[in-house]
Amino acid sequence: MPWFRKAIDPNLTLARQELEAVLPSGWKFHRTDSERFSLPESRITVWGAWAHGDGKYAIAFGRDEPDSIRQVAARLLGELETTIAWRPPMDWHEPTPTHQKEPAFHPYDLTEEDEVALRELQAAVPSGWQLWDSDREKFFMPGYMLETWACSAMGPFGEKVLTMGIGLGGSLRALRDALEGNLQESQYWAPDFPHGF
């Protein structure tokens, strides 16, 4: 084997085989993607994977690539329910070796509905907490694009909260819900969107 070839992860191979074994007729596994989001003095990486068929899409998120693929299989089997928002576990965060980043909570292209959601979030920020970062990511599936946002906040003792939602308004409401104690951490996410399976 040439020295420059990347070793194949057997766990990844097994996860793909498990997904392919449960794909409905006419469905195809498409791809995976990872995104890194900023947190105070750290960052968090999440993985997404998706499959498609019959004009529908199954997309799921998890901690690593094999995990995200397995969650697509779980979604197709009806073992993972869809939700409108996600709060990944903060023990996934990785310290960043660089200097402290300044807060960058500047959502852009706000619609009227997004502005309402932002005001609701700002009213829900507890004393001593600070809105930290907002970041848009797009997941391109054949014939469809799912736009998600991640929004984060920091507490007075270094607590960190990050949420993801569909569209900017969805993410702003997710962070509001998390700060109000109405959205708990979860290992996985299958987004609830109109073309989802």
Residues 42-97 have pLDDT tens digits of: 889 999 999 999 899 999 999 999 999 999 999 999 999 999 999 999 999 887 76
Average pLDDT, whole number, for the chain? 90
pLDDT of the residue at 38: 80
- The verdict on residue 134 lying in a domain is yes
Residue 15 lies inside a defined structural domain of this protein: yes
How far apart CA 2 and CA 51 sit, in angstroms, is: 32
pLDDT digit string, tens, across residues 39-56 = 877 889 999 999 999 899
Residue 1 lies in a domain: no
User: The domain containing residue 128 runs over which residues?
Assistant: 10-179
Q: Is residue 197 part of a domain?
A: no
Query: How many domains does the chain fold into?
Result: 1
The residues facing 86 across adjacent strands are: 164
- Identify the residue whose tokens are 């469809």: 144
Nearest of 91, 119, 97, 95 to residue 107 by alpha carbon = 119
Q: State the Cα–Cα distance between residues 48 and 18, nearest whole angstrom.
A: 16
Burial of residue 18 (number of CB atoms within 10 Å: 0-12, 13-18, 19+):
middle
Contact 132, 158 (CB under 8 A): no
Report pLDDT for 106. Answer: 82
The verdict on residue 111 lying in a domain is yes
Burial track 146-176 (b if 16+ CB lie within 10 A, e otherwise): bebbbbbbbeeeeebbbbbbbbbbbbbbbbb
Which pLDDT value is given to residue 1? 43
Does 90 reside within a domain?
A: yes
Cβ-proximal residues to 46 (8 Å cutoff; 6+ apart), any chain: 34, 35, 37, 61, 62, 63, 88, 92, 164
Residues 32-43 as b/e (b if ≥16 CB within 10 A, e otherwise) read bbebebbbbebb
Query: What is the rounded CA–CA span in Å between residue 69 and residue 8?
Result: 16
Residues lower than pLDDT 70 in the chain:
1-7, 97-101
Question: Coil, helix or strand for 17?
Answer: helix
* Cβ proximity of 49 and 68 under 8 Å: yes
